[in-house]
Amino acid sequence: MNLFFDPVGLPHYLLVGAVLFVCGILCMMTKRNAIGVLMGVELVLNGANVNLVALGSPMLYPSGVAPLGLEGPLTAAFVIVLAAAEAAVALAIVLSYYRTAATIDVDQASQLKG
């Protein structure tokens, strides 16, 4: 495949981003441990960040102009901060659930009450 022989450019970074994203989705789909699901969310956000940075990095384009310019790393920084906030809230919910149900199995979180 030409990926192996070309100098590293945008397609390579987008592939890594895609792999991270898909692994995150797989984690969210298959893990029964609530914290495992949270790890999947982190992977998804990281895949998106890799894409943002690749599209904003002027080194990967022969003309030196990146499609996103300075917005790439800036948006990725915003995503990182929002992911931290979301992880904190999600973990608090998981801890509350663990205290009331004595388990973190998401399969058993099937009732709206309590």
Partner 1 sequence: MTAAVLWHNVFFWIFGLAASALAVGVVVSTNVVRMAVCLVMSLAAVAGLFFLAGAPLLGAIQILVYVGGTMVLLVFGVMLTARLPAAAMRTNAGQWVAALIVGAALLAVLWQAGRGLSAACARRDAAAPSAAEIAPANQTVTELGLALLGVRADAAQSAEGGSSTQRPGYLLPFELISVHLLAALVGAAYLARSRWPARRQAADDVRSTDME
Looking only at residues 29 through 58 of this chain, which bind partner 1 when binding is defined by CB under 8 A? 29-33, 35-36, 38-40, 42-43, 46, 49-50, 53-58
CB nearer to partner 1: give 22 or 112.
22
- To partner 1, the closest distance from the beta carbon of 111 in angstroms equals 18
Site for partner 1 in 3-32 (CB under 8 A): 7-27, 29-32
Q: Name which position in 1, 104, 110, 113 contacts partner 1 (CB under 8 A).
A: 104
- Helix intervals (H) in the chain: 2-5, 10-30, 34-55, 71-101
Q: How far apart are CA 23 and CA 95, in angstroms?
A: 24
Least Cα distance to 43 among 62, 70, 16 occurs for 16
Residue 50 pairs in a beta bridge with none
Q: How far apart are CA 30 and CA 73, in angstroms?
A: 31
Site for partner 1 in 74-103 (CB under 8 A): 74, 76-78, 80-89, 91-96, 98-99, 103
